[in-house]
Amino acid sequence: MNKLWKELRGWIGSIALAFILTLIIGVFIVQPTKVSGHSMDPTLHDGQRVYISKLPHTFGYTPKYGDIVIVDSRTTRKRSLLDDIKDHPLFHLFEKNNEEHIIFIKRVIGKAGDELRFQDGHVYRNGEKLDEPYLYEAMHYSSNETVIVPDNFVFVMGDNRNHSQDSRAIGSIPLDHVLGSKIGAK
């Protein structure tokens, strides 16, 4: 009985260590996620697996123009370490299909201080029309308003501009809501 208990304790310890390491890696270093929807067509497709570097979020880096990032769209609430832990895929293994989509995959279009305009189917950043060869189709959105991206925020948009809920609808994204940058896809 003592030998069995020792063996069982060893297995439990190994499983607990594996769980903790998986959690640490997924929260702070790299995490897989799945594309849900068509807002990033043709770059990313519905159901496609992507790998996200969590290092920008962990160390507070500002993403570069054109980076594909995952963001928490609940911009009116403060994020915490507990949110990062609860977002880990291990906690969603046995979850039914959650209809509340709060994590978006988008492209960084503007950073702090940038002036953005949307005219004639194009985005203008600081007066210059953006060259965006990755777009799915011409954008139908136009606005007479100019958007100034606040400090510690980014402005994100989907590549399928006509079918994307992005910063045009939810506003600029606080940097602490940028959860990581895409590093690979399957």
Distance CA 38, CA 59 (A): 30
72: left (phi over 0), alpha (psi -120 to 50) or beta: beta
Look up 129 and say whether it is catalytic.
Answer: no
Residue matched to tokens 């903790």: 20
Question: What letter would DSSP give residue 17?
Answer: H
CA 75 to mean position of chain CA atoms:
13
**Which residue(s) pair with 32 in the sheet?**
51
Q: How many CA atoms lie within 13 A of 61 on its CB side?
A: 14
Which among 54, 106, 111, 182 is annotated as catalytic? 106
Distance CA 152, CA 116 (A): 16
Which among 39, 164, 167, 172 is annotated as catalytic? 39
Residues, the chain, total? 186
Look up 36 and say whether it is catalytic.
Answer: no
Active site residues: 39, 106
